[in-house]
Amino acid sequence: MYNIDKDIRKSATLPTSFYKSQAQFEKSIESIFASSWLYIGDLSDVNSPGYVYPFTLLEKVVDESLVISCDKQGALRCLSNICTHRGKIIVEAAGKMPMLRCGYHGRCFRLDGSFKSTPGFENAVNFPTPADDLTEVSLKETMGLLFTSLAPKMSFQEVFQPILDRLSWLPLNDLVYDAASSKDYYIDAHWALYCDNYLEGFHIPFVHPALNAALEGDEYSYELYSYCNLQLGVAKEGELSFDIPEGAEDYGKNILAYYYWVFPNLMFNFYPWGLSLNVIQPLSQHKTKVTFRTYFYKDQKATGIQNQLDQTELEDEAVVESVQKGIQSRFYKSGRFSPSMEKGVHHFHRLIAAFMK
C-alpha cells in the first residue's frame, strides 16, 4: 500500500490515506510504536533502591500498564504491572516498596518480577510456573534518559549510537531537567504530520523568521542513519554556537544546533546550553500531544529559552494544523519530495512504509 521509492528524485510522499484512515492509525500503533524504542522517563526519578514507578505506555493508544522497579542492589527493571492472577493493576502509585503486592487477592512479587507468594493456592497443582511471574520488558538508558520497547524490531544501540558517537565530547551524562522551561502542547493534527514538518529545514525561511535570522541557510545539511537522522544547523556570525574541541568531527564549524530525530517520535535538539527533548505522542488519529522537556548541562542556565522555543513551536503548530485541514481535500492524494531539502522526510516515510508492511 505504501511504496516509497528509495530514489528520492522519483518518489512521492505517503498517500493521504495514512493520515486520514482510522484503520491505518490503529495499525500504525501496533506496527510502529509497539515495536520501537519509546522514551518513558528520567533515570534520576527512579534510581533509588526499593523505588517503584508505575506508568502507562502511550495511554489510550499503546495503553500498556508497566512499572519500573529498582531493587536493593540498584538494578532497574521494567515489568508488566498486571497481576498474573486476575489481571488487576498492581502498583497504583510511585513510592518505596519491599515487594509488589496486588491489592485484589494479595498475590506478591519480588522487585525483579518473580512470583513470591499468594494466599489460597495451597492445593493448586503445578503451581507456581514461570507464567506466574511478571513479564519483563526491555529497558535501556542513555544520557540519563530511560527507554522501553514492547517488541523491538531494532537494537537500542543501532538507534542511538550515531548520536553518542557524534557528540561524545558533550557532557551528555550531566544533563539536568528543568521543569520551569518545559511545557506540553496539544495539536489538532496527525502525529506524523508534526514529524514531517520537523524533518526538513525547507520551511524555515517561510515559517520561522527569528530562527532563519540565526541560521546560515546555505550550510544547512542533512545526514541519514538507519533509525535516526540529523539536521545540522550552522550559526551565522555572532550567533551562539558550540565550542567544539579539536579532534571532534565538527571541529572548526560554527554549529548553532544538532537537530536529531529518532524514529518514530523523538526529537533531540542539542544546543550550546543543553538539550530540548521533544516527545510526540499520538492521542488519536487527529490529535497529538507534544512534550518539550528542557535539560541544561550541569551548572549552566540560559535565559529566555522557553520564549524562544515557544515561538518556534507556535509557528510550527499553525502550519501543521493547516496541513491537517488541507489533506482532507478530494484533490490532494500525495506530493513529491525536494531531493535536496526533504531527505529527512523521505527517510521517515520509507521507515513508515517498511514498518507498516
pLDDT of 167 > 90? The answer is: yes
Residue among 86, 121, 123, 125 at smallest CA distance from 102 = 86
Q: Cell numbers 530514489 label which residue? A: 7
User: What is the average pLDDT across 104-113?
Assistant: 98
Q: Which three cell numbers stand for residue 61?
A: 493508544
pLDDT given at position 214: 87
**Residue 212 — φ and ψ, nearest 5°?**
-65, -35
Q: Residue 328 and residue 292: Cα distance in Å, rounded? A: 28
**Mean pLDDT score across all residues of the chain:** 95
- Report which residue type is found at 101: R
Give alpha helix (H) positions in 132-180: 156-166
Kindly state the percentage of the chain with pLDDT values over 70.
98
Q: Residue 139 and residue 43: Cα distance in Å, rounded? A: 11
Residue among 201, 194, 199 at smallest CA distance from 290 = 194
pLDDT given at position 28: 97
Q: Cell numbers 523523538 label which residue? A: 266
When pLDDT is cut at 50, 70 and 90, the band that residue 303 belongs to is low
E-assigned strand segments in the chain = 38-42, 51-57, 64-70, 76-80, 95-96, 100-101, 108-109, 115-117, 136-142, 145-149, 175-187, 221-224, 228-234, 255-262, 266-271, 274-284, 287-297
* β-strands 266-271, 274-284 pairing: antiparallel
The Cα-based distances of 245 to 84, 164, 214, 221, 230 in angstroms read 53, 16, 22, 21, 20
Q: Which DSSP category does 135 fall into?
A: P
When pLDDT is cut at 50, 70 and 90, the band that residue 307 belongs to is confident
Q: Residue 282 and residue 286: Cα distance in Å, rounded? A: 8
Q: Residue 63 and residue 208: Cα distance in Å, rounded? A: 35
pLDDT given at position 355: 97
Residue 279, classified by CB atoms within 10 Å of its CB into exposed (0-12), middle (13-18) or buried (19+), is middle
pLDDT given at position 93: 97
Alpha carbons within 13 angstroms on the beta-carbon side of residue 100 total 34
pLDDT of 2 > 90? The answer is: no
Single pTM value for the model: 0.94
All domains in the chain, ordered by first residue: 38-141 (2.102.10.10), 156-356 (3.90.380.10)
Task: With H, G, I as helix, E, B as strand and everything else as coil, classify residue 24.
Answer: helix
Q: Which DSSP category does 106 fall into?
A: -
pLDDT digits (tens, 9 = 90+) for 29-48: 999 999 999 999 999 999 89
pLDDT of 302 > 80? The answer is: no
